[in-house]
C-alpha cells in the first residue's frame, strides 16, 4: 500500500492525553509516521474547550476555538487520538465562533483518518491478547465510528475493522455494546453516584467478555473506568486503540 508521502497532517493531542497519557500521543505519532504521513505538532496547542462547554461555559471556550482554528487551518487534515475531542471541534467550534471553521471541518479522530482517508488495509503490528472494545458515545453517535445500536442501519465498526488488521488479537464486545460508561466530563463530578454506578456496570460487562484489556478511541472513557477499577481493585487493564495499532513499531 502506498500512501501520499507529501501529505502533512497537524497532530492534536488533547490536554488530558498530553498530561496523563502521553504514550497515546507517541503511539499516534509513530503509527502515522510508519504509514508515511508527515506529522506536525503545533506546540502552542492546549485544549479544545469541551470541558467548559459541557459544564455550561462554552463562552469561555471562544478563544480556544479561535486559537485552534488559527493553529490548524493550514493542514490538509488534523488528527486527534480522541473521538470526543475531535467531535467537539468539528461540531461545536463553528457554533461557538458563529462561522465555518477551516480547521474544524478537517479535524478527524485517528480511527476515522486511518479508516476513511488512508484506508489502511494492513498493519505490521502484533497484539496477542483478548481485548474488549469500548464504543464511546461521541465516537459512535457523533463521528459514526460504528453503527449506533439504536438505529436500523447496516452494522459496521471502523475500530473493529482496524483492530482486525493486528496479528494475534481477539476482539470482544460487551453486552449493551454502546451504552454510556458514565464519564461525561463534569457529569462525573456533579453526579458522582450515577457516574460511578454506570462505570462499574460498564466495567463488569467488559470484564464478562473475558478480555485482558479494555480498549477504545477515547482516553477519557478509559480514564474514568480505570479510576473506578483501581478503587475497586478490579483486575482489568486499559489501552488506547492507537497503542494496539502501533504495537511493535
Partner 1 sequence: MSTKHSIAAEKFLQNGERVTRHDQTFWSVRTKRDTLAYELDEWENLREAADKIKKHTVTHLADYLEQFEQNATRNGGIVHWAKDAEEYNQIVLKILRQHEVKKVVKSKSMLTEECHLNDHLFKQGIDVVETDLGERILQLMELAPSHIVMPAIHITREQVAECFRQKGIIAEHGTHAAEGILPTGEDPNQSSDPTFLTRAARYHLRDNFMTAECGMTGANFGIAETGDIVVCTNEGNADMSTSVPKLHIVSMGIEKLIPNYEAMGVFQRLLARHGTGQATTVYTSHFRGPRPGGEMHIILVDNGRSSILGNEEHWQTLKCMRCGACMNTCPVYRRTGGYSYTYFIPGPIGINLGMLKNADENYHNLSACSLCCSCDNVCPVKVDLSTQIYRWRQNLDGMHHADAMKKAMSKGMKVIFEHPNLYTSSLKFAPLVNAMPKCLTGIKLNGWTYGHEMPVFAKKSFHEIWKKQLRSESV
Terminal alpha carbon distance of the chain: 17
Quote the least distance from Cβ 33 to partner 1, whole Å.
7
The label of the residue with cell 478509559 reads: 222
One residue of 6, 43, 98, 119 binding partner 1 per CB under 8 A: 43
Q: Give the nearer residue to partner 1 in terms of CB position, either 66 or 73.
A: 66
Query: Rule CB under 8 A: is residue 249 a binding residue for partner 1?
Result: no
> In the sheet where 237-240 sits, what is the strand order?
170-172, 130-133, 213-216, 237-240
80 beta partners:
109
One residue of 7, 34, 36, 54 binding partner 1 per CB under 8 A: 54
One residue of 19, 119, 122, 235 binding partner 1 per CB under 8 A: 19
One residue of 3, 34, 36, 58 binding partner 1 per CB under 8 A: 58
Residues of span 73-112 touching partner 1 by CB under 8 A: none
Quote the least distance from Cβ 168 to partner 1, whole Å.
28
CA 205: distance to chain centroid?
20
Interface segment toward partner 1; rule CB under 8 A; list 54-62, 101-109, 110-118, 119-127: 54-62
Q: Give the nearer residue to partner 1 in terms of CB position, either 71 or 131.
A: 71
Quote the least distance from Cβ 79 to partner 1, whole Å.
14
The label of the residue with cell 500500500 reads: 1
Residues of span 192-211 touching partner 1 by CB under 8 A: 192-201
Stretch 126-165: interaction string toward partner 1, x if CB under 8 A: -----------xx--xx-----xxxxxx------------
Q: Give the nearer residue to partner 1 in terms of CB position, either 70 or 167.
A: 70
Amino acid at each position: 500500500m502506498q500512501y501520499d508521502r507529501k501529505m502533512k497532517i497537524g497532530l492534536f493531542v488533547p490536554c488530558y492525553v498530553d498530561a496523563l497519557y502521553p504514550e497515546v500521543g507517541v503511539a499516534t505519532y509513530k503509527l502515522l509516521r510508519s504509514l508515511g504521513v508527515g506529522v506536525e505538532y503545533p506546540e502552542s496547542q492546549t485544549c479544545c474547550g469541551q470541558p467548559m462547554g459541557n459544564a455550561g461555559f462554552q463562552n469561555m471556550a471562544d478563544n480556544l476555538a479561535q486559537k485552534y482554528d488559527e493553529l490548524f487551518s493550514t493542514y490538509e487534515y488534523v488528527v486527534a487520538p480522541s473521538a470526543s475531542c475531535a467531535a467537539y471541534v468539528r461540531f461545536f467550534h463553528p457554533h461557538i465562533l458563529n462561522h465555518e471553521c477551516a480547521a474544524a471541518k478537517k479535524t478527524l479522530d485517528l480511527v476515522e483518518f486511518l479508516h476513511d482517508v488512508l484506508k489502511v488495509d494492513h498493519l505490521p503490528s502484533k497484539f496477542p491478547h483478548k481485548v474488549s472494545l469500548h464504543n464511546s458515545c461521541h465516537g459512535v453517535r457523533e463521528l459514526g465510528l460504528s453503527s449506533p445500536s439504536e438505529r436500523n442501519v447496516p452494522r459496521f465498526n471502523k475500530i473493529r475493522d482496524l483492530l482486525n488488521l493486528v496479528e494475534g488479537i481477539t476482539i470482544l464486545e460487551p453486552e449493551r455494546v454502546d451504552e454510556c460508561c458514565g464519564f461525561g466530563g463534569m457529569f462525573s463530578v456533579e453526579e458522582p453516584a450515577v457516574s460511578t454506578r454506570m462505570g462499574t456496570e460498564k466495567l463488569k460487562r467488559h470484564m464478562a467478555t473475558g478480555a485482558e484489556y479494555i480498549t477504545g478511541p477515547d482516553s477519557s472513557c478509559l480514564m474514568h473506568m480505570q479510576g473506578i477499577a483501581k478503587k475497586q481493585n478490579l483486575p482489568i487493564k486499559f489501552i488506547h486503540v492507537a497503542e494496539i495499532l502501533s504495537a511493535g513499531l
